C-alpha cells in the first residue's frame, strides 16, 4: 500500500466481500433460529445487508474504483463459526444464544471495518462517501444492540434453564 487511498480502496473491497458473503450466510441462520424474535432480527438485518452492498457499490462508483478484488478472509472465518453454531446439537434456546454470539462477532468486525472506513474517508476529504459509510456503521451498531437486548432480556435466560 502506497497511500491512504490505496488502503481505503483495499478495505472497501474487503467490506464488499464480507457483506456479499453475509447475504449468502444469513438465510441459514434465519432457518436455524428457533426464536421468532431472533428470526425477525436476522431477516431485517439481511435486508439491511443487501442495502449495504448497494451502498458499497455506490461508494466505489463515486471514487471510481472497483468493489471486486478482495476476499474477506475474516468474514469467511466468522461464517464458518456461525455454521458450526448452526450444526450444533443443542437445545433450541442454547442454539439461539450461540447464533446471537456468532452474529455479534460479525457485527463487531463490521463496526471496526466501517469505523476505519469512515475515519479514512474523512481524512481523504471524501465527505459524501463518509456519510454513506456512516449510515452503514450506525446500522451495524443498531443490529448489535438489538441482538444484545434479545439475548439479555430473553434468550440467555431461556438457555440457562
Q: How far apart are CA 11 and CA 81, in angstroms?
A: 22
Enumerate domains of the chain plus CATH numbers. Answer: 4-160 (1.20.1260.10)
Q: How far apart are CA 54 and CA 48, in angstroms?
A: 10
Reported as a single tens digit per residue, the pLDDT across 129-147 is: 999 999 999 999 999 999 9
What pTM value is reported for the model?
A: 0.95
Reported as a single tens digit per residue, the pLDDT across 39-79 is: 999 999 999 999 999 999 999 999 999 999 899 999 999 99
Amino acid at each position: 500500500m502506497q497511500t491512504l487511498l490505496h488502503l481505503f480502496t483495499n478495505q472497501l473491497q474487503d467490506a464488499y466481500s464480507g457483506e456479499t458473503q453475509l447475504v449468502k450466510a444469513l438465510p441459514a441462520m434465519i432457518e436455524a433460529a428457533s426464536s421468532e424474535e431472533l428470526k425477525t432480527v436476522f431477516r431485517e438485518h439481511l435486508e439491511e445487508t443487501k442495502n449495504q452492498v448497494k451502498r458499497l457499490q455506490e461508494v466505489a462508483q463515486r471514487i471510481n474504483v472497483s468493489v471486486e478484488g478482495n476476499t474477506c478472509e475474516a468474514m469467511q472465518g466468522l461464517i464458518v463459526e456461525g455454521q458450526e453454531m448452526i450444526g450444533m446439537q443443542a437445545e433450541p434456546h442454547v442454539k439461539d444464544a450461540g447464533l446471537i454470539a456468532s452474529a455479534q462477532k460479525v457485527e463487531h468486525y463490521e463496526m471496526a471495518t466501517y469505523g476505519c472506513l469512515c475515519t479514512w474517508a474523512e481524512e481523504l476529504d471524501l465527505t459524501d462517501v463518509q456519510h454513506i459509510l456512516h449510515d452503514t456503521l450506525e446500522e451495524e451498531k443498531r443490529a448489535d444492540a438489538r441482538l444484545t437486548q434479545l439475548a439479555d432480556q430473553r434468550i440467555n435466560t431461556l438457555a440457562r434453564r
